[in-house]
Amino acid sequence: MRLHRIRLTDFRGVTASDVDFDAPGVTVVVGPNEIGKSSLAEALRLVRDFKSSSQHSSIKAVQPTHRDVGPEVSVELSTGPYRLVYTKRWLRKPSTELQILEPRPEQLTGDQAHDRVEQILADTMDADLWTALQQVQGESLQQASLARVVSLQSALSALADDDVVGASHEDLLDRIEREFRRYHTATGKPTDVYAATIRELAEREEAVAVAEAHVRAVDDVVDRHERLTLERTRLQVRVGQARTDAEELAEREGALTELRRHHDEATARLGQSEVAVATARSAVEARAERVTEAARRTASSAEATEAWQRAVAAHTEAVQRLTAFDAARRGVTDEVGALRLDVVAAEQVVRAAQARADAEVIRERLAGIAAATARLEEAEAELAANPVDGEIVQQVADVQARLHAERDAAAAGAARFTVEQLGTAEVQLGGEAIEGTATRDLTAPVDIEVAGVVRVVMTPDDGAVRRRRKLEEREHELTALLAELGVADLAEARRRSGDRDDAARRAHAATVERDTLLAGESVEAVRARLTAIDTHGAAEPTVDLAEARVMLTDLTERLESAEQAVGASLHERERILTAVNATNERRLTTETHAASASAELERATARLESDRGGHTDEALAAALAATQAQHVLHADALESTRTALRKQDADGLEMLASNARELAKRLVDDLARLDADLAAATTELEVRGRDGLRDKLDTALSRLADTRRVHDSLEARAGAARLLRSTMRTHRDSAQQRYVAPFRQAVEALGSIVFGSDFAVDIADDLSIRSRTAHGVTVPFESLSGGAKEQLALVGRLATAQLVSADDGAPVILDDSLGFTDADRRRKLAAVINRVGSTSQIIILTCEPDRFADIGSARTVRLG
């Protein structure tokens, strides 16, 4: 179908507009605005959908406002063999006219015309294609819905290399799917019944395994029972054998008992003789020991006696040496005694001379002391007569000083007046007459009288009176003090004080001298000493003191040298005495030793003699020889019994017999255990054998067989359905891919201009674009940007228009497209549109003609 011309009259804002379209070719229709540009698309819709009598709101919406006119649309188009003009007016003077131009002219009006148009379009036009190629305003991002566009399908089928598309086999696929779904879920898992069978099969296999195990367990018990029975038979034989063996060996062992007793006795005897030999040998050895000891004692006794005799000799010699020394020493001792007496006498002489000298000194001292005492007493008498000391002088001076100060103060504070005698008349001042002038201070009331002429009484103020009184008191105090001291004035007091100080100094000097002479002693003590010397030593003054002292020194020196000589000899004597003591000690010690050794010798000799009294040495030696001979005999006897036992293999026999006894016992125990095991097995079989375990196994096997039959059958059918379904789907998908190939190629051929040479798309079965690959990156359609979506959707429509043959085709109508596309892509798309426009009809509705300015062959028309 192709549009040739659309005429709008009183349609919305358009009063009258006549638009011709190129077919094929690109026509850009520019509308005044958003609404205006879509008027064409709307007119095409309304003219088909509504009869001229319609009062539908869509119709009313396109009626011009404020004008009482009916909207009118006239369309000229060609479709199939037809070319026609179809005109409709609504609301005001509604009318429908159809003028068929080709193939045979025909004219129709009213509903007839409407129905005829619908019939022609239904016969010749693919309505789905018409819808698919219209890109409605605001939906430029959506792909055209191509799944059911028959004309495209036929075009693709024609291009595909076989008839794949012809056979959709929808029903067959449905049946296969239903069959598949009998056994499988949508995801291919077994359905309830099938799954239950699979589960049941596993369960029943398990049940069979369990039942088999039970049967096998009983079989095992049966086997065990058989084995035990067999073993028991063998064991019984062995028990008999073992008992026989044990008895025979016991008998043989009995015969050996006598021999064994002999052996034991011989062993005992040998033991006894061993003891006897040991006793005899120890007796001989004890005797030898005694003899040896006696000899040893004799020797040591002789040695001790000799040592004692040597010590006695040494001691005697030492004593003789001491005696000789003492005799030689006696002369020196006597000289010392005489010298000592002389020294004593000389000392007495010296002492007497000394006493005399001492008495003279004391006497001189006593005289000094008496003189000092007399001076002291004189000075002290002076002091007692004169009490005026420095302190008192100061006291007088202070009182006098204050008096002077107070007098000055009284004078200074009092009024001063002067009385002058002018005439001759006597002037009396204070009762005393004056001559010339008299100046006074007014310190007390005073009368000035000129007898018979005048008397002036002057009275001082209170302060002056008070000061006057105080001055008088101070004068009294000084007078009293001086009187008390017995002096006339301060100067005399000072002289008296100087006298007193002098007396005090003298008293002090006398005291110091006296104390020095006394030297801490009392006068009485000094005097007593003198008295003592006078009474005792006051002998004849024969010898001078110095002389006596020389004599004494000489004597003393002589005595010291004599005493040193005595000391030296005393030292020598000590040495000699020590030697005497040492030799004496040695003598005593050796004497003791000698006595002790002698006693030991005596005892040893006595013991030996006593022993020999019992048994002589020879007797003991004989006894030892006898017992040794006995021992040899007993050892031989034992060896012979031992040999006899060995010959009988007694040990082996005993081992065998005891082993046989133990074996028999053990075998009997084994037999008992075996019997117990057998009884247990029998009981177990009695209990379990009657359970019908074999029947249970058979039942389990039967159930398993039943389930297996069902399962195998189900599995075969499910497998067949699965295989059939998957095979069919695989081939259908690959056919589908072959089918969509030309569409994909067309889209890629056009799109590569816009998206680049490596542009590729994945086309779904419904011919929608699933994803785009550009610059090596594949992106699902839904995830693309708005611009890319818009461009791809447009390319899809253009490819469709290109693929559908011109006769079957429909115009591509783009209402407000490329709003999301940038200028660069728009230029490229312009080239694509231009290319497709050379074979298809493309109508672009826009209010922005600049967007499509680059389409080379486009013709632009304006609406209204």
Partner 1 sequence: MRFVATADWQLGMTAHYLGDEARPRFAQARVDAIRSIGRVAAESGAELVLVCGDVFESNQLDRAVVARTFDALRDVPVPVWLLPGNHDPLDASSIYRSREFVDGCPAHVHVLDTPGVHVVAEGVEIVAAPWFSKAPLSDLVADALDGVEPAAGVVRIVAGHGTVLGIDRDDPAGISEDALSAAISAGRAQFAVLGDRHSTTEVTPRIWYPGAPEVTSRREDDPGNVLVVDVDHDTVAVDKVAVGTWTYAHHQAELTSDADVDELERWLAQLPAKDRTAVWLSLTGVLSVGEKARLDTVLDASRDLFALIDLWERHSDLVVTPADGEFGDLGLAGFARDAVEDLTLRLEGDDARAARDALGLLYRFSRGGAA
**Which residues contribute to the site for partner 1 (CB under 8 A)?**
162-167, 169, 172, 175-176, 178-179, 215, 218-219, 221-222, 225-226, 229, 681-682, 685, 688-695, 698-699, 701-702, 704-706, 709, 716-717, 719-724, 727-728, 730-732, 734-735
Alpha-carbon distances, residue 319 vs 259, 325, 329, 586, 670 (angstroms): 91, 10, 16, 14, 110
- Residue closest to 303 by CA, chosen among 695, 590, 52, 672: 590
**C-alpha span between 163 and 167 (Å, rounded):** 7
- At 302, phi and psi to the nearest 5? -60, -40
| Closest CB 201 distance from partner 1, rounded Å | 14
* Tokens describing residue 110: 């009213």
| Closest CB 191 distance from partner 1, rounded Å | 15
Beta strands 777-780 and 769-774: pairing type? Answer: antiparallel
CB closer to partner 1 out of 166 and 271 = 166
- Residue closest to 620 by CA, chosen among 244, 280, 850: 280
How would you class 354 by CB atoms within 10 Å of its CB: exposed for 0-12, middle for 13-18, buried for 19 or more?
Answer: middle
**C-alpha span between 231 and 547 (Å, rounded):** 153
CB closer to partner 1 out of 165 and 362 = 165
Q: Which secondary structure element, helix H or strand E, spans residue 767, and what is its range?
A: none
CB closer to partner 1 out of 162 and 285 = 162
- What contacts 139, CB < 8 A, 6 or more positions away? none
CB closer to partner 1 out of 223 and 609 = 223
CB closer to partner 1 out of 620 and 763 = 763
CB closer to partner 1 out of 240 and 719 = 719
CB closer to partner 1 out of 207 and 314 = 207
Q: Which secondary structure element, helix H or strand E, spans residue 811, and what is its range?
A: none
User: Reduced to 3 states, what is the DSSP secondary structure of residue 526?
Assistant: helix
| Closest CB 233 distance from partner 1, rounded Å | 13
CA dihedral 816, 817, 820, 825 (to 10 degrees): -140
Q: Which secondary structure element, helix H or strand E, spans residue 83, and what is its range?
A: strand 82-89
User: Reduced to 3 states, what is the DSSP secondary structure of residue 487?
Assistant: coil
Dmax over Cα atoms in the chain, in whole Å? 219
| Closest CB 165 distance from partner 1, rounded Å | 7
CB closer to partner 1 out of 578 and 737 = 737
| Closest CB 762 distance from partner 1, rounded Å | 20
Is the distance from CB of 606 to CB of 295 less than 8 angstroms? no
| Closest CB 703 distance from partner 1, rounded Å | 8
| Closest CB 722 distance from partner 1, rounded Å | 8
| Closest CB 796 distance from partner 1, rounded Å | 25
| Closest CB 673 distance from partner 1, rounded Å | 18
How far, in whole angstroms, is CA 326 from its chain's centroid? Answer: 100
Is the distance from CB of 801 to CB of 24 less than 8 angstroms? no
User: Reduced to 3 states, what is the DSSP secondary structure of residue 805?
Assistant: coil
Span between the terminal Cα atoms of the chain, in Å: 25
| Closest CB 164 distance from partner 1, rounded Å | 4
Beta strands 14-20 and 95-102: pairing type? Answer: unpaired
CB closer to partner 1 out of 158 and 532 = 158
| Closest CB 803 distance from partner 1, rounded Å | 20
**C-alpha span between 813 and 807 (Å, rounded):** 17
Rg of the chain over Cα atoms, rounded to whole angstroms, equals 89
| Closest CB 241 distance from partner 1, rounded Å | 24
Beta bridge partners of 843: 27, 813
CA angle 380, 383, 387 (to 5 degrees): 155
CB closer to partner 1 out of 386 and 682 = 682
- What contacts 332, CB < 8 A, 6 or more positions away? 562, 565, 566, 569
- Residue closest to 859 by CA, chosen among 251, 70, 267, 23: 23
**C-alpha span between 396 and 859 (Å, rounded):** 160
CB closer to partner 1 out of 66 and 690 = 690
| Closest CB 193 distance from partner 1, rounded Å | 16
Strand ordering across the sheet containing 760-763: 760-763, 769-774, 777-780
CB closer to partner 1 out of 104 and 690 = 690
CB closer to partner 1 out of 15 and 734 = 734
| Closest CB 156 distance from partner 1, rounded Å | 13
Q: What is the DSSP string of 377-428?
A: HHHHHHHHH----HHHHHHHHHHHHHHHHHHHHHHHHSEEEEEE--SSS-EE
Strand ordering across the sheet containing 2-11: 14-20, 2-11, 72-79, 82-89, 95-102, 106-109
CB closer to partner 1 out of 324 and 687 = 687
User: Reduced to 3 states, what is the DSSP secondary structure of residue 200?
Assistant: helix
User: Reduced to 3 states, what is the DSSP secondary structure of residue 12?
Assistant: coil
- Residue closest to 774 by CA, chosen among 793, 790, 754: 754
CB closer to partner 1 out of 118 and 219 = 219
| Closest CB 159 distance from partner 1, rounded Å | 15
* Tokens describing residue 556: 């003393």
Amino acid letter for position 66: H
| Closest CB 763 distance from partner 1, rounded Å | 17
CB closer to partner 1 out of 490 and 678 = 678
- Residue closest to 31 by CA, chosen among 848, 858, 853: 848
CB closer to partner 1 out of 478 and 710 = 710
CB closer to partner 1 out of 226 and 807 = 226
| Closest CB 158 distance from partner 1, rounded Å | 15
| Closest CB 218 distance from partner 1, rounded Å | 6
